[in-house]
Amino acid sequence: MADKLRIALASGDGIGPEITDACLSIFERAGVMDHVEFVPVSMGESEFAKGNTSGISDDAFRSVESLGVLFKGPMGTPTGGGGKSVNVTLRKTFGAFANLRHFQTLPGVETVFSKAGYNIDFHVVRENVEDTYGGIEHRVTTDVMQNLRLISGPGSDQVHRFAFETARSLGLKEVYCGHKANIMKLTDGLFLKRFHEVGESEYPEIERGDVIVDALCMNLVIHPNKYDMIVLPNLQGDIVSDLAAGLVGGLGFAPSANIGDRIAIFEAVHGTAPDIAGKGIANPTSLLLSGLMMLRHIGLGSIAATINNALLATLEEGVHTGDVRGSGEPVGTKAFAEAIGDRLGKTPSTCEPKVWSGDSVTFEPLGAPSELEMMCSDREAEIEHVGCDVYLGSRAVPNEIAPVLESLCEGSALKLSLISARGTQVWPTGSMYTQCVDHHRCRFERRDPSAAVDPRVCHELMMRIAEKFQVVCYIPLKYYDGERGYLLAQGQ
């Protein structure tokens, strides 16, 4: 037969090698190895121990780039220090912008909702690259840390198109956008706006809805079968995904696929469970279900369906690992994998069997682009400078700071319009009940509302301020196509 598709394999840390071996043994019995060759790569705790702060070896980077698919177990990340999450590094480095997770009621897995008769079956698509997971953080004063949250239009478009395309392929009729645009009006506001634009222009046959994320969480707990698919920004998607996993029995039953234009990563989303590592009792279901998403991704849908039905039949008959609440005596990792292998070709009787098409590999690695790709909107907005926010690190109270700043901008095109503490206006008006820290936003706006401000005027003012105070951040204030590109302060 033709050459096998090569897939990068990282077994992971803690229980990772045990559950990876269990999945590979099932793949072997189901005939996956007739089509696929797994190529081991080094990443995780062993790389951190070598002083590699990325946690990923150079060879692993090159292998994933050339092969286009990675199958990985859970990875450990050092707490604190300079080591970054391997999972986040992989997703961001390789542009795996969409995280797809499927949550479904499984037979034999007892939960509050299964006992109540709820049949849960929905998908969550999480944006994977932007948001607070950029990890752009700074200590800006003695008492204040800052995280820079980035949401882009093209990045939002990518994940929304993926959500709608996936919904279309699955035959889903409705997609919801979860957001916090009522508070984060520019960042989540952009994410929500692009959701409706993409849906209306490119997927008119799919109904759209949107829901504030806190209401979404409440709805999922009260009515867990209310939604078919939800797409969310990165941090909110992370939280909602774990909440959703709790509805179906925990992270041990939640598969995860990270999909980009060129590279896809399929992984277990639970931790490394070092307390049970080496005991042979870990549950491989999450990694196995992720592996089935991988098989469908590369074209082996028929084999994936056979394995999935065998898993359902196994759980249905009361065979499970010790972390599962259900009938029957628990078995170890290896015995559970063997039980699934023994039921290959069998279908469940208490739930709908899976039927997926595809019996040959259709995936081909695309390889790296010739240069770094820029994602930009069709046209650049018309920009008008109107002022600047200068952030100061000072233990002086705002009423002491304001007169100095007013004198520094006297005679210029700018005037001091407000000082805020943690986003709330405290000068020229405010409440004596508002508490301040050593971080002050000082907003300077144009004196003449009809005149644009030369950016150099802002820069020169900032330099004068820096002679009197510690400047910790500078942000120009702009209008984009006539719309304000910044928010008013709370209470302004």
Q: Which architecture, in CATH terms, is 1-96+249-375?
A: 3-Layer(aba) Sandwich (3.40)
Which fold, 121-247? Isopropylmalate Dehydrogenase (3.40.718)
- Give pLDDT, residue 367: 85
pLDDT band at 79 (very low <50, low <70, confident <90, very high): low
Please check the confidence at residue 402 and state whether its pLDDT lies above 70. Answer: yes
Dihedral-angle region of residue 411 (phi above 0 means left; psi in -120 to 50 means alpha; beta otherwise) = left
Largest CA distance in the chain: 84
CB count in 10 Å sphere of residue 162: 21
pLDDT in tens, 29-71: 999 999 999 999 999 999 998 989 899 999 999 999 999 999 9
Q: Where are the domains positioned within the chain? A: 1-96+249-375, 121-247, 383-484
pLDDT in tens, 408-462: 999 999 999 999 999 999 999 999 999 999 999 999 999 999 998 999 999 999 9
pLDDT in tens, 149-206: 999 999 999 999 999 999 999 999 999 999 999 999 999 999 999 999 999 999 999 9
Please check the confidence at residue 1 and state whether its pLDDT lies above 50. Answer: no
pLDDT in tens, 135-145: 899 999 999 99
What CATH number matches the domain at 383-484, 3.40.30.10, 3.30.70.1570, 1.10.260.40, 3.30.390.50?
A: 3.30.70.1570
Residue 462: exposed, middle, or buried by beta-carbon count in 10 A (0-12, 13-18, 19+)?
middle
pLDDT in tens, 19-36: 999 999 999 999 999 999
Equal fold, 1-96+249-375 vs 383-484: no
Percent of the chain with pLDDT over 70: 98
- Give pLDDT, residue 2: 57
- Give pLDDT, residue 135: 83
Please check the confidence at residue 80 and state whether its pLDDT lies above 70. Answer: no
